[in-house]
Structure 1
Amino acid sequence: MPAPPQSEQELLARAEEIAGFTLAQLAHNAGVSVPRDLRRDKGWIGQLIEWQLGASAGSKPEQDFPSLGIELKTIPIDPQGRPLETTFVCVAPLIGISGQRWEASNVRNKLSRVLWVPIEGSRDIPVGERRIGMPLLWSPNEIEERLLRQDWEELMDMIVLGEVEQISARHGQVMQLRPKAANNKALTRAIGRDGQPIMTLPRGFYLKIDFTHGLLQRHFDLPI
């Protein structure tokens, strides 16, 4: 595995070097096989890019490049550059959360500095033939930070008030809370409406497509 990059500039240069490569070419470099489809290997692309760029955090609750304070996010796009799915940020805490503040949240930590790597995601392109796009190094501007904070505070308030099971994907302007589990038996503890402990599916924070589409549009001057 390549050594972790020592600077933001080195990381961006590595990401720019692989732009235009196919996933099959990167998989060959890494000595791994390409899955036929991604239904059972949903995280395969992200892991491949992490390996190529020298990410070190793995599944720990910190950025993928902790020494640089940068998170890596691969983002599948259609031919017009529109993201094809929401973007997972991190798992949401469901207990022991009263008094948590946005400034100390894992969501803010993960999104403070992000290296976005667009990848062709249309299903009619075989996985190995999908190409990697030019990267984007991003931090939220004041407006984006305010929107993210508002959504985080609204969703966390609902969790604290025992309304986690009333939260739907419609809640939040730019970020939503959704179940995140391999199956419906992977339950975790949460707070019920009367303050009692309940068991529910784990939840994750996800960025909505319109939000990430806006980032790509502004950076790459894509058609609206």
Structure 2
Amino acid sequence: MKTTPPSPETIEELMQRANNMAGLTLGQVADSHGFTTPADLKRDKGWVGQLIEYELGALAGSRPEQDFLHLGVELKTIPVDDKGKPIETTYVTVAPLVNIQGLTWEKSIVCHKLQTVLWIPVQGSRDIPVAQRQIGTPILWSPTPDELALLKQDWEEIMEFIAMGQVQQLTARHGEVLQLRPKGANSRSVTQSIGQDGSKILTNPRGFYLKIPFTQSILKRFFN
């Protein structure tokens, strides 16, 4: 039985571990725990994130709370191309589609999760075999007042659409830095949401995602 690495007790210890990982390949980290590295990520989309969570001792799993709740830190792996640009949007959390009366930005899971984020860039180019992809320098980030204002504005606009029963009208183009997209194993996944007349309807689950230009600006600020 594998023993899970213990969760770090301080932010300093977490950063030390993350820095120790920088420069290693995914294959090296996987081998150190006796894990098999998949040939590709088509069927194992979450594999990289799970490996890094395991290595760093993250506790939350899929629960709607920060990965290191005791430290107030969320963990996000971010695949980047050879120029260091994020390859895809970053998933934050499932969006609430019912029972949202009185929900404010300050009380939202999005706000909670994005208070402090440990970003772990990982080479994501498809031409690099998964085992040979390198892990980059970690970044501990908290949103600036400007970034926070943008996030809040997008969240409030999106939640207004949901409250008015217009979730179907929301597209990935809505929002400057935050977007709402279908989130489910496939298009057959359904959940309840508010209809235009206020009744409950069935729709695909939705998730909040950070747009690429936003995460790119975070990485750029730290690495320049």
Question: What TM-score comes out, normalization by structure 1 length?
Answer: 0.98
Partner of 2:49: 46
Letter matched to residue 190 of structure 1: S
SS in 1 for 2:70: coil
Question: Structure 1: where are the runs of 5+ without partners?
Answer: none
1:186 aligns with 2:186: no
- 2:32 is aligned to 29
Three-state SS of the structure 2 residue aligned to 1:165 is: helix
Aligned match of 1:146 in 142, 149, 155? 149
Query: Does the residue aligned with 2:122 lie in a helix, a strand or coil?
Result: strand
Aligned residue pair count: 221
Instruction: Give the alignment partner of residue 176 of structure 2, picking from 173, 188, 200.
Output: 173
Structure 1 stretches of 4+ moved >2 Å: none
Query: For 2:34 and 2:202, how far apart are their aligned partners in 1?
Result: 41
CA contact (8 A) 1:160 1:191 kept: yes
**Contact between 1:4 and 1:55, CA under 8 Å: does it hold in 2?**
yes
Q: 2:212 aligns with which of 203, 209, 212?
A: 209
1:67 lines up with 2:74 in the alignment:
no
Contact 1:30–1:48 (Cα < 8 Å) also in 2: no
Q: Percent sequence identity over matched residues?
A: 58
* Aligned residues of 1:75 and 1:117 also touching (Cα < 8 A): yes
The Cα of 1:30 is off from its aligned counterpart by 1.7
Residue 31 of structure 1, CA deviation:
1.3
Match of 1:83 in 2: 86
What is the CA-CA distance between 1:212 and the residue it aligns to?
Answer: 0.2
**SS at 2:53 equivalent:** helix
Q: Which secondary structure state, in structure 2, belongs to the residue aligned with residue 59 of structure 1? A: coil
Which ranges of structure 2 fall in alignment gaps of 5 or more residues? none
Asked if residue 17 in structure 1 is aligned to residue 20 in structure 2, the reply is yes
Note the C-alpha offset of 1:176: 0.2
Deviates more, 1:84-93 or 1:28-37: 28-37
Q: 1:102 & 1:142 partners in 2: Cα distance?
A: 14
Structure 2 residue 125 is matched with structure 1 residue 122: yes
TM-score, normalised by the number of residues in structure 2: 0.98
